[in-house]
């Protein structure tokens, strides 16, 4: 985290913003144009949020613009569902591309013409080698590659074959178009990279028009050039692609010369940010869907109750660096807590109920007490909550034989019930198995509102709900999806999945207002528990709440439990 800390120390500036500033100062560019280029083959995750905040953020801060461009070059893996989800998630995060929505597929005609130009210039050829032969002849990091036997085809034969590839005459994978650069280059990306593949799959936008599709490398930089992108920001894995990015720009009649800059990708502890892994989690049912609140997707985080402002704050805090690092997932929780502490209304809910009977409170009677909605915001007002003879408290707020430092309820102990009275525990009632199932208590009527006129103090205040006036609810507690701080992102990642990522508390009780949907569109704080939001699985009789985050940084502890 030293790099990120440095970025913050510089007042939110980073090396990319410094470059943009200096390019504008030197009039190299009149205005800055960035882009966010997702491939619509999955939902966006929090790593993408870093790229979105950076690209759209720079455009906003420097008075330029940011394009949303779908890198839709592989119809075999891309779907309309993903396109829609990506647009929804970028908007939700708080960014707007205005009229600047583009697709690599918008440029398929021009890219095709440019491919023909390369062939005519003797800089591209059709290769009939099998994928396996191509792989072997590509060489390794330590060994140079070998020229393809098809490398010296005549221009006419190349043009004819490429046009027939386009016309759909050959099967998937039968041939590819490659750039003719240098099979002995120290940079493997320059060893005659593939420009076009045969993929016979309908495309969400171009239908069945094309049987061949450009590679990422052939589409990306040229799309940037067509759109007049000034600063093309990607992650460090693409650093070695930059010479190829520049080779295309130097060898094609492109309308502008963008520059590629690389930054560190976001990695988070206990999290895997790989679309391939996330797709498998969804496909194989390890989670309930792309928007499962355990997923690091923007849809999952939204469903968990994370406000978009908290994500933007988190991204700002981690900064932009040139070296890869792993960010502590506790930092994300910190930003979420910071945001929700300011806005979330306070409510009372009991997650694991234990029944209380107030023996000296008259049967059939009840009264209304005043509870504040937000301790730091008087404008949030207050609400009435019902108190009566039967209540529920949290099971772990009682101990029959408490250790020295336990100040909550135990036989003979007196505590404050929040917004209500001082209450003393007289007796614990047990079932046949010896488990405590009910507490018999008394209250002091003189302590209404939670203060004793004689000045006596209690050491604890606990939350509670009325048995008669509260509503049953299901509460879902989410723990990290992976049990290791650095889970495997590749083969066999399922062995690092935590068996305890979801805890369902089926018998929770919540105060009445929480059962009214109109009151819980926004996350709330369950006092002493954390921040929660109503889940779409709720029914009219039974609300379901997701825990967005706990109140304290229990990250290490929660993980330890798994």
233: helix, coil or strand? strand
> Which is closer to ligand ATP, CB of 59 or CB of 515?
59
> Which is closer to ligand ATP, CB of 46 or CB of 249?
46
In contact, 60 and 323? CB cutoff 8 Å: no
> Which is closer to ligand ATP, CB of 39 or CB of 390?
39
> Which is closer to ligand ATP, CB of 47 or CB of 480?
47
The one among 4, 17, 48, 119 contacting ligand ATP by CB under 6 A: 48
How far is the first Cα of the chain from the last one, in angstroms, to the nearest whole number? 26
Q: Pattern 271-310, binding to ligand ATP, x per CB under 6 A?
A: --x-x-----------------------------------
Find, among 278, 318, 315, the residue nearest to 300 by Cα.
278
380: helix, coil or strand? helix
Least distance in angstroms from the C-beta of 235 to ligand ATP: 4
Question: The tokens 């069945």 sit on which residue?
Answer: 208
Least distance in angstroms from the C-beta of 369 to ligand ATP: 49
CB atoms within 10 A of CB 313: 17
Distances 79 to 43, 71, 76, 93, 192 between C-alpha atoms, Å? 11, 12, 9, 22, 30
Least distance in angstroms from the C-beta of 269 to ligand ATP: 13
Residue 545 tokens read as: 């709440």
Cα–Cα distance for residue pair 273/481, rounded to 1 Å = 12
The one among 115, 126, 179, 266 contacting ligand ATP by CB under 6 A: 266
Residues with catalytic function? 39, 265, 275
> Which is closer to ligand ATP, CB of 265 or CB of 374?
265
Least distance in angstroms from the C-beta of 321 to ligand ATP: 11
The DSSP letter of residue 546 is: E
Stretch that binds ligand ATP, among 265-273, 408-416, 457-465, 544-552 (CB under 6 A): 265-273
Cα–Cα distance for residue pair 504/548, rounded to 1 Å = 14
Who's near 102: CB < 8 A, 6+ residues apart?
A: 35, 67, 68, 69, 70, 223, 227
Q: Which residues, numbered 222-241, are part of the site for ligand ATP (CB under 6 A)?
A: 234-235
Who's near 514: CB < 8 A, 6+ residues apart?
A: 347, 349, 471, 473, 520, 524, 543, 545
The DSSP letter of residue 73 is: -
In contact, 536 and 542? CB cutoff 8 Å: no
Environment class of 51 (CB within 10 Å of its CB; exposed 0-12, middle 13-18, buried 19+): buried
The one among 51, 373, 447, 525 contacting ligand ATP by CB under 6 A: 51
Would you put residue 94 in left (φ > 0), alpha (ψ -120 to 50) or beta?
A: left
Q: Which residues, numbered 15-44, are part of the site for ligand ATP (CB under 6 A)?
A: 37-39, 41
> Which is closer to ligand ATP, CB of 284 or CB of 376?
284
- If binding is defined by CB under 6 A, does position 242 make contact with ligand ATP? no
Distances 272 to 48, 279, 299, 489, 558 between C-alpha atoms, Å? 13, 11, 16, 6, 18
The one among 138, 200, 265, 288 contacting ligand ATP by CB under 6 A: 265
Least distance in angstroms from the C-beta of 11 to ligand ATP: 22
Stretch that binds ligand ATP, among 48-56, 191-199, 203-211, 544-552 (CB under 6 A): 48-56
Q: Which residues, numbered 64-93, are part of the site for ligand ATP (CB under 6 A)?
A: 71
Least distance in angstroms from the C-beta of 562 to ligand ATP: 24
Least distance in angstroms from the C-beta of 106 to ligand ATP: 17
The one among 50, 65, 69, 175 contacting ligand ATP by CB under 6 A: 50
Least distance in angstroms from the C-beta of 68 to ligand ATP: 11
Distances 359 to 108, 274, 298, 440, 443 between C-alpha atoms, Å? 79, 58, 50, 6, 8
Number of residues that bind ligand ATP (CB under 6 A): 15
Cα–Cα distance for residue pair 145/134, rounded to 1 Å = 9
CB atoms within 10 A of CB 278: 21
Cα–Cα distance for residue pair 387/382, rounded to 1 Å = 16
Stretch that binds ligand ATP, among 46-54, 110-118, 305-313, 323-331 (CB under 6 A): 46-54
Least distance in angstroms from the C-beta of 29 to ligand ATP: 20
Stretch that binds ligand ATP, among 47-55, 104-112, 497-505, 528-536 (CB under 6 A): 47-55
> Which residue minimizes CB distance to ligand ATP?
47
Interface ranges with ligand ATP (CB under 6 A):
37-39, 41, 47-48, 50-51, 71, 234-235, 265-266, 273, 275
């Amino acid at each position: 985290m030293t790099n990120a800390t440095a970025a913050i120390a510089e007042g939110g500036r980073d090396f990319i913003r410094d470059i943009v500033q200096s390019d504008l100062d030197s009039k190299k560019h009149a205005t800055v144009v960035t882009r966010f280029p997702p491939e619509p083959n999955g939902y966006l995750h929090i790593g993408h949020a870093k790229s979105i905040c950076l690209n759209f953020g720079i455009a906003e801060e420097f008075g330029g613009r940011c394009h949303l461009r779908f890198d839709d070059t592989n119809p075999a893996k891309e779907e309309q569902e993903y396109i829609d989800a990506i647009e929804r998630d970028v908007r939700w995060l708080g960014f707007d591309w205005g009229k600047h929505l583009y697709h690599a597929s918008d440029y398929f005609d021009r890219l095709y013409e440019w491919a023909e130009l390369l062939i005519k210039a003797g800089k591209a050829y059709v290769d009939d080698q099998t994928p396996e032969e191509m792989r072997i002849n590509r060489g390794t990091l330590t060994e140079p590659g070998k020229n393809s036997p098809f490398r010296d085809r005549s221009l006419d034969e190349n043009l004819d074959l490429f046009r027939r590839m386009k016309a759909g005459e050959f099967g998937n994978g039968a041939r590819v178009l490659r750039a003719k650069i240098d099979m002995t280059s120290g940079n493997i990306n320059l060893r005659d990279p593939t420009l076009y593949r045969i993929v016979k799959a309908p495309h969400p936008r171009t239908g069945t028009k094309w049987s061949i599709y450009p590679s990422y490398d052939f589409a990306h930089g040229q799309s940037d050039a067509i759109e007049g992108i000034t600063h093309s920001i990607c992650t460090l894995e693409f650093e070695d692609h930059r010479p190829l990015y520049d080779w295309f720009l130097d060898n094609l009649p492109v309308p502008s010369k963008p520059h590629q800059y690389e930054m560190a990708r976001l990695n988070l502890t206990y999290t895997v940010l790989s679309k391939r892994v996330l797709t498998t989690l969804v496909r194989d049912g390890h989670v309930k869907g792309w928007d499962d609140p355990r997923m690091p997707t923007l849809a999952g985080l939204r469903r968990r109750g994370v406000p978009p402002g908290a994500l933007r704050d988190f991204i700002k805090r981690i900064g932009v660096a040139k070296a890869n690092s792993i960010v502590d997932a506790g930092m994300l929780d910190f930003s979420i807590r910071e945001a929700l502490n300011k806005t979330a209304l306070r409510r009372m809910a009991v997650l694991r109920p234990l029944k209380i009977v107030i023996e000296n409170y008259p049967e059939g009677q009840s009264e209304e007490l005043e509870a504040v909605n937000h301790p730091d915001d008087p404008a949030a007002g207050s609400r009435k909550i019902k108190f009566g003879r039967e209540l529920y408290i949290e099971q772990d707020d009682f101990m029959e034989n408490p250790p020295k430092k336990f100040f909550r309820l135990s036989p003979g102990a007196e505590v404050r019930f929040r917004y209500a009275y001082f209450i003393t525990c007289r007796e614990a009632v047990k079932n046949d198995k010896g488990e405590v199932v009910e507490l018999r208590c008394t209250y002091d009527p003189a302590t209404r509102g939670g203060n004793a006129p004689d000045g006596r103090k209690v050491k604890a205040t606990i939350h509670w709900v009325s048995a008669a006036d509260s509503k049953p609810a299901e509460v879902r507690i989410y723990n990290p999806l992976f049990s290791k701080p650095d889970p495997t992102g590749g083969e066999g990642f399922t062995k690092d999945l935590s068996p305890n990522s979801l805890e369902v508390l089926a018998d929770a009780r919540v105060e009445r207002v929480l059962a009214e949907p109109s009151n819980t569109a926004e996350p709330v704080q369950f006092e002493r528990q954390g921040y929660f939001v109503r889940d779409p699985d709720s029914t009219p009789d039974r609300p379901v709440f997701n825990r967005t985050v706990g109140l304290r940084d229990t990250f290490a502890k929660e993980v330890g439990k798994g």
